Chain A
Amino acid sequence: MGWSMSNSGIAGPAAAVLLAGATLAAAEPSPMRQKELIHMVRQDCGSCHGMTLRGGLGPALLPATLADKPVDGLVATIIGGRAGTAMPPWHRFLAEDEARWIVARLMEGFPQ
């Protein structure tokens, strides 16, 4: 399951939720996709933010450090990166809803 397929992940179960016209504000990634996202954040985001997300080359992504930051800004950072810094854009691998799901999990304490 290459990450490069992840953009099309929206056509899978997550899209089914959307089509069902659910009242959810944002589509929840499928349980399988959630597992992939957790692995991705711990391992691949972890190469800069630390596997425990306590920071490395990039800042800590812990509930306490993110608490005061606007969610939309954090989602935009993940999707678009931050020019002039080492934070790359992840839009090739993450749909916006997935980035939003990641930010929500980060803000409450990221699952193992």
Chain B
Amino acid sequence: MSSAARLVWLVAATLLLAACAGAPLRGTGDLGLVIERASGHVTLVSTTSRSAYARIGGLGDLSHASVVYSRDARYAYVFGRDGGLSKIDLLEARLVKRVIQSGNAIGGSISQDGRIVVAQNYTPGGIKAFDAETLELLAEVPAEYAPGQFSKVVGLADVPGNKFAYALFDGGEIRVTDFSDPKHPTTQRYPAGRQPYDGLVTPDGRHYLAGLFGEDGVALLDLWQPEKGSRRILDKYGKGEEKLPVFKMPHLRGWSLAAGRAWLPAIGRNEVLVVDASTWKETARVAVKGQPVFVMASPDGRQVWVNFAFPDNGWVQVIDTLSGQVVQTLQPGKAVLHMEFTPRGEAVWISARDDNRVLIYDTRNFRELGSLPAEAPSGIFFTSRAARIGF
């Protein structure tokens, strides 16, 4: 067969397949999913039509569930609290495969080449790597930090070179595991400080930050020069003042970077800490309504949206990154758990767990554009994450 003939044949076969499936061809760039934590469902949504198009159940305990996407943005990998790892096809709107990979998990990540999905586990403490295609186990790296002592793993993020950076809550370490030989991973260890609660990789893949719960500060590792070791930034930001109780742990991710600065939740203080992302020195603090949980920059970096821990979880505040001021305070609903920007940030979707609704806001004028019903919605994840380092 000539190459032209082969191409014609291929196109014909593809069209035929699509016709058989009965669905028009479409891309996935405007799709995503909403976790319905109480009932083990996910609702599949389109950010163009601002509506749901399918719902999938049987996914187990989805409290604290998180999602990563395959590099073609067709498949979602859902990590459940109960250790379930589910692969969902957004186009066919079906569960492709589900494995129970641990007793207690809190999230996962996908490698730079898209071939390896890694889960981070509380029990047994460690990470596990799976073939992204088949969900077959490739390797396991226990988070043993002292003989017989295993730590809960937090803050797992992919970094260039098929590596993953993460932190050990009980072990007080940052680790970087290299999966370039997927079945024979190698791991480097760096001191972090007391009780790292989450971590993030900057969007360029260069710096890993681990936020500390057990002391005031953030551990920083330059992944371009790991031989220089980890260091402390924002040291003693609490200045010895008594901390407010923290009723929910904050979350970190690469969305913290905006306008050349990192916007980070303080622990036990109703503040967002602002750090210059080249010198890593504190430049400002923004007083907010409560203990920040998600501090998320819009894709263009002009705004930072903040939600809060119990009991202030009915509020959302918006910081203008140019002025460093809170410019808007919203009350989207009861128990706001998560926010997600559309790929280019014209809208933000917000989950209000106790109102059983997802609300959609215009990011320019803060008007509500619409809403969707969902049962106790928590995380919202759009496919634009598929192409981002550290998601």
What residues make up the interface of A, taking CB atoms closer than 8 Å to B? 2-4, 39, 43-44, 46-48, 50-52, 54-57, 81, 84, 86, 88-89, 92-93
Q: Which residues of A contact B376 (CB under 8 A)?
A: 43
Tell me if B236 is interfacial: C-beta within 8 Å of chain A: no
Contact of B63 among A50, A81, A88, A92 (CB under 8 A): A50
Tell me if B91 is interfacial: C-beta within 8 Å of chain A: no
Tell me the minimal C-beta distance from B256 to chain A in angstroms: 20
CB <8 Å contact, A51 and B38: yes
CB <8 Å contact, B64 and A56: yes
CB <8 Å contact, A57 and B245: no
CB nearest to A6 among chain B residues: B311
With contact pairs A3-B311, A50-B81, A54-B104 given, residues A86 and B213 touching in the complex (Cβ less than 8 Å) = yes
CB <8 Å contact, A86 and B246: yes
Q: Which residues of B contact A44 (CB under 8 A)?
A: 247-248, 310
CB <8 Å contact, B195 and A88: no
Count of A-B residue pairs with CB < 8 Å: 64
CB <8 Å contact, A93 and B311: yes
CB <8 Å contact, B82 and A52: yes
Q: Given the complex of chains A and B, what is the CA–CA distance between A51 and B81 in angstroms?
A: 9
Contact of A56 among B122, B247, B354 (CB under 8 A): B122
Tell me if B249 is interfacial: C-beta within 8 Å of chain A: yes
Contact of A86 among B64, B123, B249, B311 (CB under 8 A): B249
CB <8 Å contact, B104 and A55: yes
Contact of B249 among A39, A47, A93 (CB under 8 A): A47
With contact pairs A2-B311, A46-B63, A50-B104 given, residues A55 and B249 touching in the complex (Cβ less than 8 Å) = no
Q: Given the complex of chains A and B, what is the CA–CA distance between A3 and B268 in angstroms?
A: 19
With contact pairs A51-B38, A54-B104 given, residues A88 and B247 touching in the complex (Cβ less than 8 Å) = yes
Tell me if B173 is interfacial: C-beta within 8 Å of chain A: no
Q: Given the complex of chains A and B, what is the CA–CA distance between A88 and B82 in angstroms?
A: 24
The B contact surface, by secondary structure, is: loop
Q: 17 A-B residue contacts at CB 8 Å?
A: A2-B311, A3-B311, A4-B311, A39-B354, A43-B353, A44-B247, A47-B310, A48-B249, A51-B63, A51-B81, A56-B63, A56-B81, A56-B122, A57-B152, A86-B246, A89-B245, A92-B311
Q: Given the complex of chains A and B, what is the CA–CA distance between A54 and B82 in angstroms?
A: 9
Q: Given the complex of chains A and B, what is the CA–CA distance between A39 and B354 in angstroms?
A: 10
Q: Which residues of B contact A56 (CB under 8 A)?
A: 63-64, 81, 104, 106, 122
Over the window 373-389 of chain B, the binary record of Cβ atoms lying under 8 Å from chain A Cβ atoms (1 yes, 0 no) is: 00010000000000000
Q: A50-B61, A56-B104, A86-B195 are known contacts; what are 12 more A-B pairs with Cβ within 8 Å? A: A3-B310, A43-B376, A47-B63, A48-B248, A48-B249, A50-B81, A51-B61, A55-B123, A56-B81, A56-B106, A57-B152, A88-B246
Over the window 233-252 of chain B, the binary record of Cβ atoms lying under 8 Å from chain A Cβ atoms (1 yes, 0 no) is: 00000000000011111000
With contact pairs A55-B123, A86-B195 given, residues A47 and B64 touching in the complex (Cβ less than 8 Å) = yes
Tell me the minimal C-beta distance from B252 to chain A in angstroms: 14
Q: Which residues of B contact A39 (CB under 8 A)?
A: 354
CB nearest to B335 among chain A residues: A43
Tell me the minimal C-beta distance from A21 to chain B in angstroms: 33
Q: Which residues of A contact B37 (CB under 8 A)?
A: 51
Q: Given the complex of chains A and B, what is the CA–CA distance between A86 and B197 in angstroms?
A: 10
